[in-house]
């Protein structure tokens, strides 16, 4: 489609919105863009928001490609139409709705609940912001057929989003995601959306769900007696202005920890995230205030959750007493090691347990699973695929835990999405467990590296915004797919996993084997020296991600720093060879 065709389509969409029953302020905004801001008009209307790995997500504003009450409304109407088709034989269809701290989140959540009521459904709505994992828990607890949480997770303040869940408490996957979009696309006018649901019919959820959820979190503890003996572990926690502000400290206290320090500036619930550029615990700057507080009070552990409290970033003290940030792979490895080792010590491993990781997450987790003779699954990026495995294994096998490199982890199956509240509770427990052995969390991490291998991972995000950026990302993926490198940093590419074509190719023999996973635009290169490079466009942000993983044996603790530098250099060389630096 050339520029003239794009502009013609955009003008047609914008005119349609002007002729629809939207508010006057929105109409004025459209007129202004049509008059003197063609680039913004195109960005706002050139496409409709679509479901990615995290659902509907976009910049707030007017237009089909923006998050606003109308795109939320049309999506909700499409969801309702689909639910009525799927569960129409039931006497009652119910849905649970929650929201985070972002600007417009309460509004979008209430509109969602109203539309569901207008479509004859029972709608539950949390009375205030709540962590995303609590919404997942509530769906199954209340026997709902679906759920929605209004959140853009860790995205910058101009974003908002809308994640849809199914009756198992997991995010929707194929065919439901595709079919809901089809239903939305069949809605030709905003006037078709039933906005007039009775607010009084919405059932409010509050403390009763909170209390039950916290009790489930506490049940995941493996060493309550150790927590009791080391309840004074010093912990600094920040919600980064988000939904963890009440539930994470409450969970830690319920577990038995009594030495918790907050960061007052970041306990303020604010969708503008005034103390950070980005409310993302993956970015070190988001933890600056928490690290400062930890040094002031001499804390052993720092934990920070993102706005919807499904991801957690942590900092621990190294051998020199300095606070160092762990990446998501390291945190997931700590959690996995603790869970597997403690299940093993307690004789709870019967051969019917399993863990899950994503294909771009560290292979150290797979090494640990093999050591403890526990089955592990590799799934595509997104906890909806982890939830799907749990659903398929229900009643047959027991899920221990699972996670991904992007700071998400899930323990137990009472929640079917990544859960930073429970993760914070168990990370604190690991700190107490380490202290009971006269060790630190850093010592436990080194124990893992000595017992298995020293893995080092890194990530580069190449950001390309807007339509032109999306086109460029597609071209980059096509280039790697059509002309894959024969070697990278002097090491031969031995295997190529193409998750879009669902084929693995042995580059030496040419033999191909099928990948038994859903299609996904992911490429993976395995090198002769053990390096793994994964490339995928983000499903929720305007970027393409390059994941690097290297490893080597670590024979002595004293060699850790030098070994890390060698692996860091190898990753740097890989990045340079791919012309990313």
Residue whose tokens read 């089809």: 182
Annotated active-site residue in 153, 333, 491, 534: 153
The C-alpha atoms of residue 518 and residue 227 are separated, in whole angstroms, by: 42
Structure tokens given for 79: 């969801």
The C-alpha atoms of residue 375 and residue 357 are separated, in whole angstroms, by: 11
Structure tokens given for 167: 């009756």
The C-alpha atoms of residue 410 and residue 422 are separated, in whole angstroms, by: 7
Which of 116-119's residues contact partners 24+ apart within 8 Å by CB, and which partners?
Answer: 116/76, 116/80, 116/197, 117/197, 117/198, 117/201, 117/202, 118/194, 118/195, 118/196, 118/197, 118/198, 119/77, 119/80, 119/81, 119/84, 119/194, 119/197
The C-alpha atoms of residue 387 and residue 380 are separated, in whole angstroms, by: 12
Catalytic residue status for 153: yes
Is the distance from CB of 334 to CB of 327 less than 8 angstroms? no
Nearest to 108 by CA among 99, 119, 121, 117: 99
Structure tokens given for 473: 């990302």
Nearest-5° angle of CA 231, CA 219, CA 144? Answer: 135
The C-alpha atoms of residue 296 and residue 287 are separated, in whole angstroms, by: 14
Which residues share a beta bridge with 403? 357, 409
The C-alpha atoms of residue 352 and residue 373 are separated, in whole angstroms, by: 10
Map residue 533 onto helix, strand or coil.
strand
Catalytic residues: 153
């Amino acid at each position: 489609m050339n520029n003239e065709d794009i502009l013609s389509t955009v003008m047609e969409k914008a005119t349609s919105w002007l002729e629809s029953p939207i508010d006057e302020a929105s109409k004025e905004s459209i007129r202004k863009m049509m008059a003197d801001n063609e680039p913004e008009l195109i960005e706002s209307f050139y496409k409709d928001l679509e479901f990615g790995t995290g659902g509907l997500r976009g910049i707030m504003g007017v237009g089909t490609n923006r998050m606003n009450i109308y795109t939320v409304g049309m999506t909700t109407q499409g969801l309702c139409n689909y639910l009525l088709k799927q569960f129409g034989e039931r006497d009652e269809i119910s849905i649970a709705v929650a929201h985070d701290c972002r600007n417009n989140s309460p509004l979008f959540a209430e509109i969602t609940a109203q539309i569901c009521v207008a479509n004859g459904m029972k709608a539950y709505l949390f009375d205030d912001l709540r962590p995303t994992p609590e919404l997942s828990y509530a769906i199954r607890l209340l026997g709902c057929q679906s759920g929605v949480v209004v959140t853009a997770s860790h995205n910058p303040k101009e974003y908002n989003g809308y994640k849809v869940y199914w009756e198992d408490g997991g995010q929707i996957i194929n065919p439901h995601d595709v079919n809901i979009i089809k239903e939305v696309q069949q809605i030709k006018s905003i006037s078709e959306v039933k906005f007039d649901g009775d607010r009084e019919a919405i059932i409010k959820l509050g403390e009763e769900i909170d209390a039950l959820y916290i009790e489930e979190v506490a049940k995941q503890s493996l060493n309550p007696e150790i927590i009791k003996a080391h309840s004074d572990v010093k912990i600094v926690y920040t919600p980064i202005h988000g939904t963890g502000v009440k539930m994470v400290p409450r969970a830690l206290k319920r577990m038995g920890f009594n030495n918790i320090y907050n960061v007052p500036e970041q306990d303020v619930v604010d969708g503008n995230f005034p103390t950070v550029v980005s409310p993302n615990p993956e970015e070190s700057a988001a933890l600056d205030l928490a690290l400062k507080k930890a040094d002031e009070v001499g804390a052993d552990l720092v934990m920070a959750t993102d706005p919807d409290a499904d991801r957690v970033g942590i900092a621990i003290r190294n051998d020199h007493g300095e606070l160092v940030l762990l990446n998501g792979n390291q945190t997931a490895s700590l959690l996995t090691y603790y869970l597997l080792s403690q299940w093993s010590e307690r004789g709870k491993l019967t051969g019917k347990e399993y863990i899950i990781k994503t294909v771009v997450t560290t292979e150290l987790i797979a090494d640990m699973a093999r050591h403890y003779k526990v089955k592990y699954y590799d799934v595509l990026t997104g906890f909806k695929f982890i939830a799907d495995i749990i659903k398929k294994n229900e009643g047959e096998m027991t899920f221990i835990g699972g996670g991904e490199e992007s700071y998400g982890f899930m323990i137990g199956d009472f929640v079917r999405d990544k859960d930073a509240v429970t993760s914070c509770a168990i990370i604190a427990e690991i700190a107490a467990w380490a202290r009971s052995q006269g060790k630190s969390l850093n010592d436990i991490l080194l124990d893992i590296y000595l017992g298995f291998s020293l893995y080092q991972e890194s990530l580069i995000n190449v950001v390309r915004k807007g339509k032109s950026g999306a086109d460029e990302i597609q071209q980059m993926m096509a280039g790697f797919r059509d002309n894959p490198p024969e070697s990278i940093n002097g090491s031969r590419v031995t295997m190529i996993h193409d998750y879009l074509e669902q084929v693995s190719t042995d580059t030496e023999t040419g033999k191909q084997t099928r990948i038994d996973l859903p299609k996904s635009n992911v490429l993976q290169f395995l090198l002769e020296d053990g390096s793994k490079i994964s490339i995928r466009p983000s499903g929720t942000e305007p970027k393409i991600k390059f994941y690097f993983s290297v490893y080597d044996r670590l024979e002595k603790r004293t060699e850790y720093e030098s070994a890390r530098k060698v692996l860091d250099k190898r990753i740097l060389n890989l990045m340079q060879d791919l012309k990313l630096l």
